[in-house]
Structure 1
Amino acid sequence: MSYSAFESAPVINGRSHDFWCQNLITKNILATVASFGSNSLLQGKGFLDALQEWETNLPLTLRQFKNGLLNLSSKFPEINCTIVLFLDKEVLLGVLGQGAIFIKRDKKSGWLMQKEGVILGKLKNHDRLLLFSGDWWKKLPKLYLISALTNSDIYDGAQDLLLNLHRQDLNTTASGLLVKISNNQNTAIKLSKFKSIRKLPQKIFSKIKLLYKPKIALLGFLLIALVVAIILGIYKNFQNQSQAKFSDKLNQISHAVSEGTNLIDLNPIRARELLAQAVADLKQEAQTKHTKEESKVIEDNLTKAIDGYERALNKFTITPEIFFDFNLVKQGAHAAGWFNFEDNLWITDKVNHLIYILNITKKSAKIFSGDEKLSQSISAVGTSQENYVLIDSIYQIGNDGKLKEVILKDEKWGNIVNMYFYGGNLYLLDTLNNQIWKYIRTETGFSEIRNYLTQDTQVDLASATKLAINGSVWVSGGTQMFKFAQGVKELWQIQGLPESLGDKLLIFTSDNVKNVYILDKLQNRIIQTDKDGAYLSQYAWKEKYEITDFMVSESLGKILLLVGDKIYSIEIK
């Protein structure tokens, strides 16, 4: 959808010499800003001026948005800001400093963000958002938030939120925005209250029938009855306390299950966190002794939590389909590996001593070069203007397909297993020397050999097989994956992956995709994460394919697998 229509209402309470707040509303930007400290006014106004400049140069990707906020944070360290950027069909949401975003969609509601960070997603007609800057939202019950978002008039909803703030005697400063997407008629939300399973303690009435008239017998009987009553009372009190404690805990878990289920489509990462914790808590609770009714409640909630968690994992079982057959270009073709630039693939065929170029958009291929030397080719790379192949040395491939040696084999080379072309420069992966060699483009050709990895970067690349570059340099192979920035190793790992990785791993990413994709050959699957490593989804297949390489075109919505003389495709969901 296009985000051309939205309404907003301010939620502002109290300004002082050390607190300043303001909301920014433009065609593409919604932001609520709060600043604390003696310099709050200057900080706040300076921040708003800088933020308004975004209107003419709006961040279009998650990385640009994150870097933009980090840049603002370095200039205005006292600022808290929660911001929404409306792109063509998506929105960027961000929290700088302290802040949060609460959403209501149809009959579902929950937190999208509760800490500093950025996310990318889509909003729908009738969605309502509460943007908070600062931490004052932590003092409000969730019921107040839902009530404000349910009000048919967003301005009345904003006032109700402030009134509830005062009703709780919360003498606090507040800065926020209530936002309604589109101007269509709202649908009121009906709260589904949890049914309490706590049983009220029943009063115990006991009738004592005297059997003995003697005073001694009567006193003894009364004494025994008193002791029994005390024991029963202590037991009943203990039982009631246990039931109350169980009810409170189960209500908290049930709330987490409900919130996690509601967030599956809105924020699957947060949904998985909530549901995974709920599953662990319920399994632990199931190990303790409970009544039959309590055990049934635990079992029902556990089933819901597991079902929700499985849905939030976005696991798809698919059957790859044939995308292209190289036998249409050369009978008996055998593709060994490839390199992609934009919509083109450079494919090496050692068996037939050939290099093919395939345009994946048009599904058209041709033989680009043929030479006996290509039987020993390692990698072919190229762009629309220049092409290179790594054999014993590095050769440039002319438009006529002929090879010209441009970089002689260097004495520093060990075992070169892959070559990559990025930004006009050539990168060689050397598994013997645990190094990535770099050749920089010059006016006359290429520079002398240089180390890409710094001297302090010690890493074992013995099992590495593949390079990928998107500004950072990624190396994969065996059970290892590495990420480097300016020659220094960065900590990168998949967060939230339900099963551990297997062997024969390959990574794909580039400037043309916004995510990272990992081929796990051992377990017949491809895992999708964002650039920071947060798990998003995975695609698995039952058949066994001898996959030599893979790539992703998010513009086509396809994952392509290279298998012998064919390319198979998987639709990205």
Structure 2
Amino acid sequence: MEMSVGKIVGQMGEGEWGQVHNFGDLVVVISFAGGAEAGREALTRIRELQHGEGLEKAVTAVMGEFGAEVGVVAVVATRVFVAGKLKTWVRRNGGKQGWLANQGVLVSNIEDGLTLTMGNERFWGCVPEGMVRTMTDAEELGAVVHGGERGRGAVGAIIKFKLQITNINSNLNDKIQIQKPERTQWWGGVRMPSIKYQVPRTPKIKPIWAGVGFLVLFAILVGGGAMWKKEIERRRSGIDEKIETIKQKFDEAKGLAGLNPVRSRELLDEVQSGISELRGIKGIAEIENEIEGVREEAMGVRRPEAEELVDLGLVRDGMTGEKMVMAEGSLRILADEGRVVEVGLKSGNGKVVAQVSEGKLYVLGNQVQIPIDKGWKEIKDTETWAGNIYLLDTDEIWVYRSNEKKDEWLDEKQDLGKSMAIDGSIWILKCPISNVQCSILKFTRGVKEMEMEIEGGDVIYTSDETDKLYVLGEGKVMVYKKTGEYESQYIFDQAKEATGMIADEQNEKLYLLSGAKIWEIGL
């Protein structure tokens, strides 16, 4: 007899937990308001009480202790037992099907093709009776559960039984052999004189291969014993159960990658931890091959093809850009040798529009030049907002409300970063140790309001017309919500050498300045 279990677990809300666990002879469908640790405890409790007090008492106890919705299907010899309070749909071979009338009863003998579909209240809330009549595949019902908000918190299982039928050879002649009685001849009772003679025999020579064969047999027996011992140790250590848990979490992570990427990433971290613990154990190779692809989906990784918008080398031979801003439907680039270039977004044509004077700092946003001030330490970045000019220094943000008079903007001096963006608040990218360990600081009216750690970066971008934060660095553009949560990332070759970035969410475009070229990708 073979039993297959198809698992269907919907997206879980905050503080919710659900799972379908297969012990081999016992399938548990469970959900409740609690975390994974409490879930593992509930599963262990069911298993322990099953052997001590019986299945019905085990389920009743766990329902009371954890406030859980629980349903179980147990195989006992050639019978199947259902317990718990979950609704169960029974399909028998031949098309007969319907709801199981009473829980906690034996469902007769196991038949070939017997199928049980069990689920919690939310599962049956999004899977109508007409659908379960025609669908017996877990992937099909899983698509229904994951396809909408109604599937949140749904947990169900499809359990199928298949009997192995052995062909019986009905050829009686192969089984019965009739022996005929021997006929005794008349001379059978006459004693004949015996003549003894001996035929010389060739002496037997024992080949050396006999010894070799014995050694091979001995090695096989010893190796087989070691393998059997290893298998026994494997079972005792709970490795099979750990592998089953890893597989279930991985299946859940795949299903949630596009629906709840945060939860999917959490599950993938747990799966990766489990794989590291069981490194070299059979049964997880397929997951090891797939996990990076699923992680990329859950991380929102996109690999777009960048298109060249303009080559500054065509404006002036050998010209390269250092910084870029957007203004009035065009891009302004501060290039080498103090030249300022303007590029039309529609035409892609560029031209030199200004030259930075010696001893002056050019602000691209409003195209003004500020005299170098001895009070500056090291200006890392410049931005404009509401007609004012903001300069990012090592420990201060200077604000110019006119071209020559500066004021301290921060309420207190502190270590700052290397890149700045303004949307009403000021966002600063700070990497005190290296580009790998960075943080984003948010200041409002001179006071630090928020700090969040990120992977790394060189340039930060946002504006009052964008809903998100964009961080360029390490060959990719990371996207964050302004509340601090990671959202997605763009990976493409042109980002590796880029020094400037602008995100135009309204037109779904991202522009990157990399050396002499400006690249464009779709958001």
Give the C-alpha shift of residue 150 in structure 1: 0.9
1:447-500 deviation line (CA, Å, top 9, x unaligned): 953322222x522x4xx4321112332223663444132233322113xxxxx5
Secondary structure of 1:111 counterpart: coil
1:298-344 deviation line (CA, Å, top 9, x unaligned): 33444444542243234344553311234565566443322224744
1:230-254 deviation line (CA, Å, top 9, x unaligned): xxxxx99x96995595454444333
In structure 2, relative to structure 1, the CA distance for the partners of 1:372 and 1:311 (3 Å cut) is closer
Contact 1:263 1:271 (C-alpha < 8 Å) held by counterparts: yes
Answering whether residue 363 of structure 2 is matched by residue 380 of structure 1, we say yes
1:95-138 deviation line (CA, Å, top 9, x unaligned): xxxxxxxxxxxx9752264169xxxxxxxxxxxxxxx9999998
**Cα distance between partner residues in 2 of 1:267 and 1:133:** 18
Aligned to 2:398: 437
**Cα distance between partner residues in 1 of 2:308 and 2:8:** 40
**Cα distance between partner residues in 2 of 1:524 and 1:179:** 34
Contact 2:391 2:398 (C-alpha < 8 Å) held by counterparts: yes
In structure 2, relative to structure 1, the CA distance for the partners of 1:239 and 1:342 (3 Å cut) is farther
Answering whether residue 316 of structure 2 is matched by residue 355 of structure 1, we say no
**Cα distance between partner residues in 1 of 2:492 and 2:67:** 45
1:420 aligns with one of 355, 379, 383: 383
Give the C-alpha shift of residue 377 in structure 1: 5.7
Answering whether residue 465 of structure 2 is matched by residue 516 of structure 1, we say no
Secondary structure of 2:283 counterpart: helix
Answering whether residue 284 of structure 2 is matched by residue 298 of structure 1, we say yes
Aligned to 1:14: none
1:526 aligns with one of 471, 477, 481: 477
Aligned to 1:273: 266
1:34-59 deviation line (CA, Å, top 9, x unaligned): xxxxxxxxxxxxxxxxxxxxxxxxxx
Aligned to 2:407: 450
**Cα distance between partner residues in 2 of 1:340 and 1:242:** 64
CA RMSD of superposed structures (Å): 4.5
Calculate the TM-score normalised by the size of structure 1.
0.49
Partner amino acid, structure 1, of 2:364: V
Answering whether residue 245 of structure 2 is matched by residue 252 of structure 1, we say yes
**Cα distance between partner residues in 2 of 1:111 and 1:357:** 49
**Cα distance between partner residues in 1 of 2:315 and 2:355:** 17
Answering whether residue 427 of structure 2 is matched by residue 469 of structure 1, we say no
Answering whether residue 100 of structure 2 is matched by residue 143 of structure 1, we say no
**Cα distance between partner residues in 2 of 1:253 and 1:320:** 38
Answering whether residue 363 of structure 2 is matched by residue 370 of structure 1, we say no
**Cα distance between partner residues in 2 of 1:282 and 1:545:** 32
Contact 1:530 1:536 (C-alpha < 8 Å) held by counterparts: yes
**Cα distance between partner residues in 1 of 2:8 and 2:469:** 30
Task: Report the count of equivalent residues.
Answer: 335
Give the C-alpha shift of residue 420 in structure 1: 0.8
Aligned to 1:483: 441
Partner amino acid, structure 1, of 2:428: V
Partner amino acid, structure 1, of 2:411: T
Give the C-alpha shift of residue 567 in structure 1: 0.4
Aligned to 2:519: 568
**Cα distance between partner residues in 1 of 2:301 and 2:125:** 36
Partner amino acid, structure 1, of 2:268: L
In structure 2, relative to structure 1, the CA distance for the partners of 1:195 and 1:436 (3 Å cut) is farther
**Cα distance between partner residues in 2 of 1:260 and 1:551:** 33
Give the C-alpha shift of residue 284 in structure 1: 0.8
**Cα distance between partner residues in 2 of 1:390 and 1:138:** 69
**Cα distance between partner residues in 2 of 1:246 and 1:109:** 23
5 Å-filtered alignment, 1:188-199, equals 193=158
Contact 1:517 1:527 (C-alpha < 8 Å) held by counterparts: yes
In structure 2, relative to structure 1, the CA distance for the partners of 1:389 and 1:306 (3 Å cut) is same
Partner amino acid, structure 1, of 2:399: K
**Cα distance between partner residues in 2 of 1:380 and 1:341:** 12
**Cα distance between partner residues in 2 of 1:333 and 1:567:** 12
Show structure 2 runs of 5+ residues with no match: 1-6, 17-31, 36-62, 71-118, 132-144, 162-227
Calculate the TM-score normalised by the size of structure 2.
0.53
Aligned to 1:12: none
Contact 2:332 2:343 (C-alpha < 8 Å) held by counterparts: yes
Give the C-alpha shift of residue 546 in structure 1: 4.0
**Cα distance between partner residues in 2 of 1:138 and 1:448:** 67
1:522-572 deviation line (CA, Å, top 9, x unaligned): x32222232234333333345686433122222333322212332012333
Aligned to 1:536: 487
Identity over the aligned pairs, expressed in percent?
24
Q: Flag the structure with larger Rg.
A: 2
Contact 2:304 2:492 (C-alpha < 8 Å) held by counterparts: yes
Aligned to 2:509: 558
Aligned to 1:163: none
Contact 2:430 2:440 (C-alpha < 8 Å) held by counterparts: no
